[in-house]
Chain A
Amino acid sequence: MNDGARAPLLEVSGLKKHFPVKKGWLSPSAKVYAVDGVSFHINQGETLGLVGESGCGKSTVGRTVLRLLDPTEGNIKLQGRDITHLSKTDMRPVRRDMQIIFQDPYSSLNPRMSAGRIVEEMLRVHDIGTPIERQERVAELFERVGLRKAQMDSFPHEFSGGQRQRIGIARALALNPKVIIGDEPVSALDVSIQAQVINLLMDLQAELNLSYLFIAHDLAVVEHISHRIAVMYLGKIVEYTDKKTLFTNPQHPYTEALLSAVPIPDPTVRRKKTILQGDVPSPINPPPGCHFHTRCPYAEERCRAEEPPLTEFGPDHLVSCHLR
């Protein structure tokens, strides 16, 4: 194998996305530090789980990587190629390699297009195949994601939530992408359906050697599908390691708290619970020092003043905490 093949499929470094907010025409404009220096990579055929509570910027990471939002700083490399500053036209062919599955299966499908049309449009936009070939491809995709060919003419409102999510998956698969960004793809579904959709995603990964950036707020879901996990808090990654290490040996107090919130399906098990107090601070005015110090049970003087860097704690285990 040559070096190019061994390089990560998707590499993101120092990614920042700040949104300007206008408070009034006299006051200086403030900024939302939605994503504030995030780095990670995803190898071919691998799933990186990105977890954090709502508002921590994880969806913004997904959208910025897709270039649906323009990054403020940092860069994004797909197969070794820097795509951070590509123009809209230059991005078009790149979009075939990167697709997205959305959280809400209701608003992510155009209500005025038939399910088959929604999927077919992807091929049409990229001038792939003749109309007949496209129909065949859509039929094939429908069956691959567990829908019937006959449902191609139905409209989104005629499907259930889980089926709609399958249409979304078929749409993402249409262009044979290498990376799929799942923006909480199962959060809006029933637990039983969640499992079905996750299994479908894992089957597809095994079959097509796909890479996923799997964004979720639920560690239990991420545990099942991910190979490695990055925990985000207020625009930054606080812990980044493989799945096993994260679940057996969490180092960051925030990860600890998240893990203790994962329900165990056995009422006899008693364990020490770390319950966080308060809310996530506003990303408009992130606290100085360690962003987590306002809610951290172990916070010290140093945490309030100095920002901890993301440092190596063990092999392939990065933590940003002064106390480790």
Chain B
Amino acid sequence: MVDIDHQAELIKAGAHVSSRWDKLAFYTRRYPLGAIGAVIMAIFVFTALFADFISPHDPLQTKASASLLAPSGEFIMGADMMGRDMFSRIIHGARISLTVGVASIMLGGTIGALVGLMSGYLLGWFDLLMQRIIDIMQALPLLVLALVMAASLGPSLQNTVIAISIPLIPNVARVVRSSTLSLREMPFVEAARAAGMSELRVALRHVLPNTLAPLIVLFTAQLGAAILVEASLSFLGLGVPEPHPSWGRMLSESAAEYVRVAPWLVVFPGLAISLAVFGTNLFGDALRDILDPRQRS
């Protein structure tokens, strides 16, 4: 005979979940990796927002006497060739990474959502044309496309954002288009038409908001990807230019010359990139499971 602890079973099934805090506690227990991801992301965002208050030094302040100094009490992650504090530079690098990530998502997400919505809504030749353009965009590898963009537009923060947001457009457009195709046949959309609403209102107020849930997941994944692409572009010298502290460029500048003499110049930016990408991916995975009722087991 097996004793069933009903209370424990109910808690496991989430039956007690009522308030937001309970929900948070429940999901934390259910998705521990996601919770770790969420904590990493929270630290990442916090660091980016309050970089000026957290960093012990000015990230741009050079100090000849501190050149290539090993990690110590004053410079806990050491100093680079120009004697700039690595810890402060990494903290400020979070700001660059987050800016690039969020801005590229907003830019690419908005354009992609509009293209997808119009494509799924208007259908016909517009849809056909847009889908073929998207096919072409998807056929190009993301990094190569970003490289060409960055190379032709020149390295700057804005151009990096544009270069990274362009590969996002086809993904968002595809997701929004497919949701739109099924939503446009839903009775509540018909009800909106029967009420005499304009097609624009129907599309923007009844169809578009319902396509957003799958995008949230896409966006968290994109945040990680954007950080990585920015780092790669900067590594190749086509990303955010000096003197902005970019994790990718910190890595590239020091990798070749100083990896033997000052390995902390390579280790810490690398660690920052890995951690940020790892965190966003863990969080995105958990979010996908939570938002998709079919994934809840």
Mark A residues whose CB is within 8 Å of B.
63, 66, 68, 91-93, 95-96, 98-100, 102-104, 107-112, 121-122, 125-126, 168, 171, 175
Contact A92:B187 (CB < 8 A) given known A110-B206, A112-B210, A125-B201: no
Q: Which residues of A contact B197 (CB under 8 A)?
A: 121, 125
By beta carbon, the residue of chain A nearest B201 is A125
Q: How many Å lie between the Cα of A117 and that of B210 in the bound state?
A: 16
Q: Given known contacts A111-B210, A112-B209, A125-B201, is B188 in contact with A95 (CB within 8 Å)?
A: no
The answer to whether B195 touches A107, judged by C-beta atoms less than 8 angstroms apart, is: no
If over half of B's interface residues share one DSSP class (helix, strand or loop), that class is named, otherwise mixed; here it is helix
Residues A122 and B195 in contact, CB atoms below 8 Å apart: yes
Chain A residues, CB < 8 A from B196: 91-93, 95-96, 125-126
Interface check B144, CB cutoff 8 A: no
Chain A residue contacts of B193, Cβ below 8 A: 68
| Distance between Cα atoms of A92 and B4 in the complex (Å) | 61
Query: From A102, which residue of chain B is reached at the shortest CB distance?
Result: B187
A66, B210: Cβ atoms closer than 8 Å: no
Encode contact with A along B121-142: 1 for CB under 8 Å, 0 otherwise: 0000000000000000000000
Q: Are B194 and A95 in contact (CB under 8 A)?
A: yes
* Complex CA–CA separation, A95 to B194 (angstroms): 7
B165-222, CB < 8 A from A: 186-188, 190-197, 201, 205-206, 209-210
CB distance from A126 to the nearest CB of B (A): 7
Q: Known contacts A110-B210, A112-B210; is A66 also within 8 Å of B194 by CB? A: yes
Which residues of chain A have C-beta atoms less than 8 A from B195's C-beta? 95, 99, 121-122, 125-126, 171, 175
- Which residue of chain B lies nearest to A67 when distances are taken between CB atoms in the complex? B194
A63 to B188, CA, bound (A): 14
20 further A-B contacts with Cβ under 8 Å, apart from A103-B187, A108-B187, A110-B210, are A63-B190, A68-B190, A68-B193, A68-B194, A95-B194, A98-B194, A100-B191, A102-B191, A108-B191, A110-B192, A110-B206, A110-B209, A111-B210, A121-B195, A121-B197, A122-B195, A125-B196, A125-B201, A171-B191, A171-B195
User: Which B residues are in CB contact (< 8 Å) with A100?
Assistant: 190-191, 194
A109 touches B194 (CB 8 A): no
With a CB–CB cut-off of 8 A, which chain B residues contact A168?
191
Chain B residues whose CB sits within 8 angstroms of the CB of A103 once the complex forms: 187
Nearest 5 Cβ contacts at the A-B interface: A95-B196, A108-B187, A92-B196, A102-B187, A112-B209
Residues of the B chain whose Cβ atoms lie less than 8 Å from the Cβ of A112: 209-210
A-B contact pairs, 14 of them (CB 8 A): A68-B190, A91-B196, A95-B194, A98-B194, A99-B194, A100-B191, A109-B188, A110-B209, A111-B210, A112-B209, A112-B210, A125-B195, A125-B197, A175-B195
Chain A residues with CB below 8 A from B186, complex form: 107-108
| Assembled-state Cα–Cα distance A96/B196 (Å) | 8
Task: Give the residue name and chain of the A residue nearest to B194 (CB).
Answer: A100
* Nearest B-chain residue to A108, judged by Cβ: B187
Contact of A107 among B187, B192, B206 (CB under 8 A): B187
A233 to B187, CA, bound (A): 24
Cα distance A141–B192 in the bound complex, in angstroms: 18
| Whole-angstrom CA separation of A63 from B185 in the bound complex | 13
B117 to chain A, nearest CB (A): 15
A107 surroundings in chain B (CB, below 8 A)? 186-188
| Complex Cα spacing A164 to B206, Å | 18
On chain A, the residues within 8 Å of B188 by CB distance are: 107-110
Q: Which residues of chain B are near A175, meaning CB under 8 Å? A: 195
Digitize B91-115: 1 where CB-to-A-CB distance is under 8 Å, 0 elsewhere.
Answer: 0000000000000000000000000
